[in-house]
Amino acid sequence: MRLEWDGDNFKKVFKFLSELRSVAPITKTEDGKAIIRVVDYGNVAMGVVEFSEGVIVEEGDEMYILPIDRIAEMASSLRKSDDVVMTITKEGVKIRVRNMVYEAPLLVDEEVKMAKEPEIELTARVVLNGEEFKNLLKVAKKQSDVIRFEGGAIIAKGDVATLKMNVEEAEGEGSAMYSIELLEAITKLVGSKDTVVIEYGDRMPCRVSVDLGIAKVKYYVAPRIEEE
């Protein structure tokens, strides 16, 4: 399996994945793409990265377990303009960038499985640009540790003050609360000009989607259930 991409997206994707887990499986899809699905250690969030460009899948490719934390550490020094080629075989993972070659063994962990993506119908969606999304979480965190999506409004209610944002691009109905700390994980790969689509429903997980061009990223977060 061979993936080609730019240094900026490589760094952001693996930084995001490393927020969830230190290892993750990658495998090929039926239509010849590559996909990573990883569930966090608390079993309350899932990251899905589907590579749509720059992917060469070989006939013998299977599921490989990547050392996400090691790759993220290596990627931290990459430049935005770097061309990165990552090759994955049974022998290990090899990453070429400029005049450097990084090699690491694959992991063998029988407990790491390719998680199944949730099949859920979400009734509401809001759309923000990356800068709005990151600033929203930054300000909301000063009010509360949770944030509520309700119709076209996003609300963070603290003991004293309340923050409310009415989103222009919104549709559908639904209401649910989510951990701000968990939502912050995906900000590791969101650029200020990226489009962030957030879908949710009554007491349902939310799905945060970002299209990086070379890859489509979906991030599922379990709701924070209110006590009756």
Count of C-beta atoms within a 10 Å radius of residue 168 = 9
pTM for the complete prediction? 0.93
Exposed / middle / buried, residue 24 (Cβ in 10 Å: 0-12, 13-18, 19+): buried
Write the DSSP assignment of 144-164 as a string of letters: -SEEEEETTEEEEE-SS-EEE
pLDDT 10s digits, 91-122: 899 999 999 999 999 987 667 788 899 999 99
Give counts: helices (H), strands (E), the chain.
4, 18
Structure tokens at 127: 């759309």
CA–CA distance, 149 with 115 (Å, rounded to integer): 26
All structural domains of the chain:
2-104 (3.70.10.10), 124-204 (3.10.150.10)
Query: What are the residue ranges in the chain where pLDDT is below 50?
Result: 228
Q: Which pLDDT does position 228 carry in this prediction?
A: 42
User: What six digits make up the tokens of 227?
Assistant: 């006590």
State how far the alpha carbon of 147 is from the alpha carbons of 32, 42, 100, 104, in Å.
Answer: 38, 19, 43, 39
Q: Which residues pair with 155 in a beta bridge?
A: 148, 164
Report the interhelical angle of 68-75 vs 7-20 (nearest 10°).
Answer: 140
For residue 220, the model assigns a pLDDT of 98
- Tell me what pLDDT residue 110 has: 62
